Structure 1
Amino acid sequence: MSDDGRHGLTIIAFIGSVFSPYYAWSASKDPFAHCAMNVVLYGDRSRFAMTERGAASLSRGRDHIAIGPSAMEWDGTALTVRIDERGAPLPWRLRGTVRLVPRGFTAGPFQLDPGGRHRWWPMAPSSRVEVAFDRPDLRWSGSGYFDTNEGDEPLEAAFSRWTWCRADLPDGAAILYDVQHRNGGGRNLSLRFSSDGSRREIRPPLAAALPSTKVWRMPRETRSDDGRARVLTTFEDTPFYSRSLLASTLTGEPVRAVHESLSLDRFRNPLVRLMLPFRMPRPFAG
């Protein structure tokens, strides 16, 4: 998120794209055949790109991953992401460089399900980001976050829905993660990290209701100190996913939190999956 709150950016490198309809329909279920560099710009010049590519377009090592013309590289101090993608359904170009500098690293991953088949590591919850795009012409800097996810089965097999949010704090960041398990029950993670990545105590915030999104009526809720929160901006409003900017209070501090809500019950609906190729093209197999 930019310092002025006007711009946001999400970048996800997928090996075995969990939201890919092609992966769901595939007989082989080979994750390396379904890779994508998902890039989403929010703000005045919003863009979305998620072109799926096959194993021949993937290169990876201990300190880098490249999917097609886009790549991430770690030099020991900063993660540099070079983006060269084309949007969908409108074929706007997305080309630029993003540099993320972590202030510290957390101890390790969390299990999201009882069997440990899904792991999430908020590796660098408090980072500095510099964004420089040529297409569109856009430059800004602000706060950032880096995490990793891995799983041994499809998300919709383990979860029915989840909500997640992250907020900057004066001395680090807070992250709230609520997952509902497919077989009943769920897990709430209320986390607070110092800037250096060390974990600090946090009192579990109260449940706070939010309005559904306007177009697809995606349900949203979060947590806050006083059980109140307000939607400032809705960045994404889709049949199964929403991303928003909230105003709330956490650890006694007024915050602006990036929030997401995901319905995996909606995602696995065959009609929803039939819509996804318009946003997630797969132009060739290599």
Structure 2
Amino acid sequence: MFSPYYAWDATRNPFEHCAVNVVLYGARENRFCMTERGSKSLSRDANSIRIGPSGMAWDGTALTITLDETTAPIPSRVRGTVKLYPAGITPGPFTLDAHGAHRWWPMAPSSPVEVALDAPAMRWSGTAYFDTNHGDTPLADAFTSWTWCRADLSDGAAILYDVRRRDGSGQNLSLRFDRDGTRRDIRPPLAAALPATRFWRVPRETRSDDGRAEVVRTFEDTPFYSRSLLSARLAGEAVRPVHESLSLDRFRNPLVRLMLPFRMPRRA
């Protein structure tokens, strides 16, 4: 959805613009992979999809993600498997715009995950979040910005989604799900201010029970997007949400799109 090549392609054929995006955040280094590929590198059926050397397959119990990607702009490898075991599928999807053209479905917001990588060599297990997005029009035509965050709870997860639409309206989704996918009521959190990112000054804000939150670490500080780790309170618990802030007004800037190929190379 952020592909500059797709934006420049008059045919707007989505099958010619596919990518597997893999990001690792470490104590000393990060690795970012997002190589776009064309339809010749794409194969799929009802239970699996492959894009170049990477793919995903569903066997009815686990989603196995096979990775074999190269970082950019400095080449290094990310290779291995991720296995996600959804404990329950939530009802969905949610409509984000006034016309129903953009849908978001947090299908499995709190699921066990196992990560086994050969490059870099590491293994861990924990809790994963799995969702889907699909739309009928470009994101920048429907929205000016949004903020989103997801936090582990003692029994499930909390998700906050604040959308600002191009027509001036907005939408706030404050959601809580048990591990089996059951939706629970959540007290609407209060608005909580956050500092803009240090380099690109991307605006950030969130919500919390007491109207307070702190940035623990900024993972991504780009011209139009930030990803951060926060400290806050949600659903009565102290949590560490993963947070994102997106400015689609900035993304529309032609200069920003010209920067993207440095981190998003393309292969046929």
Gap regions ≥5 residues in structure 1: 1-17
Secondary structure of 1:94's counterpart equals strand
Determine whether 1:183 maps to 2:167: yes
In the TM superposition, 1:34-73 aligns within 5 A as 34-44=17-27, 45-73=29-57
**TM-score, L = length of structure 1:** 0.92
TM value normalised by structure 2? 0.98
**SS of 2:241 mapped into structure 1:** strand
Letter in structure 2 aligned against 1:111: T
Tell me the distance in 1 between the aligned counterparts of 2:94 and 2:17. Answer: 25
How large is the RMSD of aligned CA atoms in angstroms?
0.8
Counterpart for residue 228 of structure 2: 244
**Counterpart among 11, 16, 21 of residue 28 in structure 1:** 11
**Partner AA of 2:9 in structure 1:** S
Aligned counterpart in structure 1 of residue 187 of structure 2, from 203, 207, 213: 203
Deviations 1:39-98 (A, max 9, x none): 111123410010000011111111111100000011111111000011100111111111
Q: State yes or no: 1:108 paired with 2:83.
A: no
Give aligned pairs, total. Answer: 267
Q: Which runs of 4+ in 1 moved over 6 A?
A: none
Corresponding residue of 1:257: 241
Superposed CA deviations along residues 79-124 of structure 1, whole A, max 9, x for unmatched, are 1100001110011111111111112110110000010000000000
Residues 1:172 and 2:156 are matched in the alignment:
yes
Instruction: For residues 127-163 of structure 1, give each alpha carbon's deviation from its aligned partner in whole angstroms, at most 9, with x where no partner exists.
Output: 1111111111111111110000000011101000000
In 2, Cα distance between the equivalents of 1:159 and 1:195? Answer: 31
- CA separation in 1, counterparts of 2:163 and 2:26? 28
Farther-moved stretch of structure 1 (135-144 vs 236-245): 135-144
Number of the residue aligned with 2:60: 76
2:217 to 207, 227, 233: 233
2:262 maps to amino acid: F
Q: CA deviation at 1:212?
A: 0.7
User: CA-to-partner distance for each residue in 1:4-37, whole Å, 9 max, x for gaps?
Assistant: xxxxxxxxxxxxxx11000001010101110000
- Unmatched 5+ residue regions in structure 2? none
Query: Among the aligned pairs, what percent are the same residue?
Result: 72
Distance 1:132 1:107 in 2: 30
Q: Report what 1:7 is aligned to.
A: none
